Amino acid sequence: AVFDTIGVRTKPSLNNVRYAGVCPIRRQPGGHLILAGAQGPVTMLFMPHETIGQQLPINAEGFRGIIVPHGAGSVAIVGRPGEALDDFERQLASAPEVS
C-alpha cells in the first residue's frame, strides 16, 4: 500500500520489514521502511520525486548509507557502520516493475 500511495512502480521483496509508512520528503510523499539488519535497523527512504544521476554516499557519525537511482527517483539506504547495505540494494535492484 505504501508503494501505491507514493506512485512507486516496483514491489521489492524485502525481508524483515519492521515498519512501513508514508512520510513527507521535501514536501512530497515518500516511502519510509525500517528493516532488521545484522547490525541494527536499516532505513530505506523511497523518494520518487528526487532524481540523481549516480549513487551517492552518506557518511555521518553513527551511521552510513547510500542514495541510489531508482526508477524516476531515488532511494536512500541507511544503517549502522558495518551493515551490509549492498544486500539491501541488491534486493531493491532485483524488484520487478508492476503496472
Rounded CA-CA distance 39/24 in Å is 27
Three-class DSSP category at 4: helix
Reported pTM: 0.86
Tens digits of per-residue pLDDT, 8-18?
Answer: 776 667 778 89
Tens digits of per-residue pLDDT, 53-99?
Answer: 999 999 999 899 999 998 888 999 999 999 999 988 888 877 655 44
Q: Which three cell numbers stand for residue 24?
A: 513527507
- Contact predicate 42/88, CB 8 Å: yes
- Contact predicate 69/79, CB 8 Å: no
